[in-house]
A and B are shown apart, each in its own frame.
Chain A
Amino acid sequence: MKNLSWRVVSVIVVIIVAVVYILPTINPSLWPHKKINLGLDLQGGMHLALEVDTEKAVESTVERISQEIRGFLKKEHIRHISLNRIDGSRISVELQGQENIDKFEKLLDNEFKNLRILSRSTHNEILTMMLDLPDKESGQIKKLATEQALETIRNRIDQFGVSEPDIRLQGEKRILIQLPGIKDTKRAKDLIGRTALLEFKLVDETHDLNSALQGNVPPGSEVLYSIKEDPETRRVIKTPYLIKKRTLLTGAQLTDAKVQIDSQYNEPYVSINFDKKGGRDFGRITGANVKKRLAIVLDKKVYSAPVIQEKITGGQARITGHFTTEEASDLAIALRAGALPAPVNILEERTVGPSLGTDSIRKGLISTCVGGILVILFMIVYYRGSGLIADVALILNIILIAGGLAGFQATLTLPGIAGIILTIGMAVDANVLIFERIREELRIGKTPRAAVDSGFDRASLTILDANVTTLIAALVLFQFGTGPVKGFAVTLSLGVLSSLFTALILSRLIFDYFLIKLKSKSLSI
């Protein structure tokens, strides 16, 4: 009987391992392993798929380069007809006169080696040139933008305070975010999705705002708006500003941003601190532009444009804008975590409220229990004693699935519960096959022991085969599925494997125990 005791040991080990993994889910203090993960559809929360608009990152790099070129042209007194960024990420330049052209080409060779010359034509001493970034370079910028966006979003969410968020890259430029248990989804989305690009720019006071509004925008400037909502009438007031395109300072040089309350108006504002270099730059900029207006621009919106009274040293500034406390604190988080290198778009959102999640768990459990109890009763009625063995196998099956979920750190979702329910229905199949076979063997006059032996032997291969097909379907589903559906694939696969184990090894063991150890002469089947 060595064989028998070896099997007993292996079955007991499997059961103990499964139970040990389930324990923390029942009582977390027993030993420190993680509980069974619940999917967002069961515990409530938000799933987001974002796409980083990496093209915009390239565009802003190109814009910066074109501003640099403009600066050089001015410094070296090269006259140009036009210098514009067109079609997103191309720079078009027009120059007249051989002297200008020569100087410009020299400038390109010395300072802008990495620019690619797309086209070049001279006509009547007018040079037209189209420039852009080589593919390798723009690819690099895109890749960096995605990585940086991921890092920034991770930072923001960490500071926002969500327990166990899951943030990961998918493909080239998508970011998947799972925020379990989050309640204020709008606030979270606003925080994650805002670019938070803080810029300090001078207001263009030499040109007329009204003519700019009629489409006559001077080169090097642009019209930006400040948007405020009147809390009383709830009207949105848009005020236009003519702002110089050149950015003097960005939020990249911040060391801290925090919410403070204005003592005069009792209104929250965000106070920002620059690092050493930023503070020095800020001092220099304010010093050079006393009596001019400096606009604080956040995500292309003007927040304020105060007149600089004197040189500001100490590297501190404040952003005001009639914030609520929450808005101010979210803005401070976004500024601390840094700007997104490119805007992000929400491609997919799935939000489940906590009440629906609880409902789903309750309904899932009820239907599992009802289905399970019906099957268990049915097996006892139909196969009597053997049915009881099948029921033991069935219950162990569920324990093994739960243990597997905990052990592999898989996620239980609502379709996952459906997978468990299906397993209950299908797992008895293996036992039914065996029992029917045993009944047939008994009918042709075999002894119980011989009938059990040949019943198991003959049914085993069929059972294996029949389960492989379900396993194939489940594995393919696991590979292609997302979220909840993946949970279904997991429980279905676990169910197939554990039902093979319980039917072929555990049920057999119990039969053998009765027939060999206890020497039963009859079989209740």
Chain B
Amino acid sequence: MQFIKPDININFVSKRKIAFFISMVMILVSIASLFIHKGPRYGIDFAGGTLIQVKFSAPASLNNIKSGLAAIDLGKSSVQQFGDQGDNEYLIRTDRSIMTSQGFSTKVQEALETSTGNKIDIRRVEMVGPQVGKDLREKALFAMFYALLFITIYISGRFELKWVLSGVMAGALMGAVYLLSVFNVSVPYLILAALIVTLVLFWFLELKYAMGAIVALIHDVTITVGIFSIFGKEFTLPIIAALLTIIGYSLNDTIIVFDRIRENSRKYHKNPLEFIINRSVNETLSRTILTSLTTLVVVVSLFVLGGGIIHDFAFAMIIGVVTGTYSSVYVASPILLAWQSRGRKK
């Protein structure tokens, strides 16, 4: 069986302007959404606070739950339905984080049982103090940062087979980061600075493949974060795990297309780069689609059947797989072309 005919020849390269436009719009919308919402919406892992998951024995109305909670002083609190409608499960969140030591969950249980007249089961309590929230936020950002650092070093060495250059890259990056950390720059800016340093270095060292891969990767992560922000979903520790996995997945796809481009540029060295890229993308298209499909099948099954706790993680992965596949065809390869036109202008 074959989805993609072996002699397929879709002219991907000619559509790169449209793709560029779509990507730009998506990224701008993502960034705009982040600005409007004043940064990502942190879950209690990062913001601190208390979260309680309760299950009612019979359907309960949101109003009754809220009035029950109003009776005990919870501070700023929110209630939202969790999981399937029939589960009668709700998530209660407050920004307070100190009360669990004083029989807090028993209080909530009593208050809700009186206000709704239902038996309830407290299924999950998570309390994160402000200090721990701050620590976790820092840890998560450092994880992103180090993943980017190591991947940058790996691809600059691997794609170009110039390990000396990759050593230079590593040194320069670490130097820049060290310099910034001396000035006590916060981690998000550290990541931003590291990315800019990376791109500039790739540009001057003429590491075009590495450049393409990194741009595709930034593209994927930005759009995933943006879509999360648009849907008002919360960033929690598992979402960071999903983002890191997306980084790995996005590169995986890009590497496979790039490997084929390199192989073909030896084979068809007389042909223009457009032809080589197009041919390579077409040759690997079957594989790209198959792998995306099988990965998509499993993450969708996780999304639908995996339950509420893993829902957002699966959602992030779905976005990541789709954008990762798109970017390896439409973002990473056109960067190579853009590079070539830069060379011509010189």
Which A residues are within 8 Å of any B CB, using their own CB? 41, 49, 51, 185-186, 189, 193, 345-353, 355-356, 359-360, 363-364, 366-367, 370-372, 374-375, 378-379, 381-384, 414-415, 417-418, 421-422, 424-426, 428-429, 432-433, 436, 439-440, 443, 461-462, 465-474, 476-477, 479-482, 484-485, 488-489, 492
Contact = CB atoms under 8 A, between A and B. Distances in A.
A10 B238 CA distance: 36
Interface centre among A372, A374, A414, A422, by most B CB within 10 Å? Answer: A422
Contact of A422 (B146, B245, B309): B245
Contact of B129 (A348, A351, A353, A363): A348
A469 B237 contact: no
A351 B287 contact: no
Contacts of B139: 480, 482
A492 B147 CA distance: 15
25 contacts: A346-B101, A349-B100, A350-B125, A353-B121, A367-B301, A367-B302, A371-B298, A414-B310, A418-B306, A421-B298, A422-B245, A422-B295, A422-B299, A425-B298, A426-B291, A426-B295, A429-B291, A433-B291, A436-B290, A440-B283, A462-B256, A466-B255, A466-B256, A469-B251, A481-B237
Contacts of B125: 185, 349-351
B60 to A, nearest CB: 18
Interface in B217-256: 237-238, 240-241, 244-245, 247-249, 251-253, 255-256
Given A363-B306, A462-B255, A418 B249 contact: no
Nearest to A192: B101
Interface in B286-300: 286-287, 290-291, 293-299
B287 A418 contact: no
B112 interface: no
Contacts of A482: 136, 139, 237
Interface string B275-317: 0000000011011001101111111011011110110011001
Interface centre among A382, A443, A473, by most B CB within 10 Å? Answer: A473
A433 B256 contact: yes
Contacts of A432: 287, 290-291, 294
B105 A185 contact: yes
Contacts of B121: 353, 355
B143 interface: yes
A51 B1 CA distance: 61
B298 A443 contact: no
A-B complex: 8 closest residue pairs judged by Cβ atoms: A470-B248, A371-B298, A425-B298, A425-B295, A480-B143, A473-B248, A371-B301, A363-B307
B142 interface: yes
B242 to A, nearest CB: 9
Interface residues of B, number: 71
A414 B307 CA distance: 10
Contacts, number: 222
Contacts of B259: 461-462, 465
A443 B151 contact: no
Nearest to A387: B1
Contacts of B307: 359-360, 363-364
A480 B142 contact: yes
B143 A477 contact: yes
Contacts of A351: 105, 124-126
A421 B154 contact: no
Contact of B302 (A189, A348, A418, A471): A418
A336 B127 CA distance: 30
B132 interface: yes
Contacts of B297: 371, 374-375, 378, 425
A382 B305 contact: no
Nearest to A380: B1
Given A422-B295, A480-B140, 5 more contacts: A189-B100, A371-B298, A374-B297, A378-B297, A418-B302
B150 to A, nearest CB: 5
Interface centre among A381, A479, A485, by most B CB within 10 Å? Answer: A485
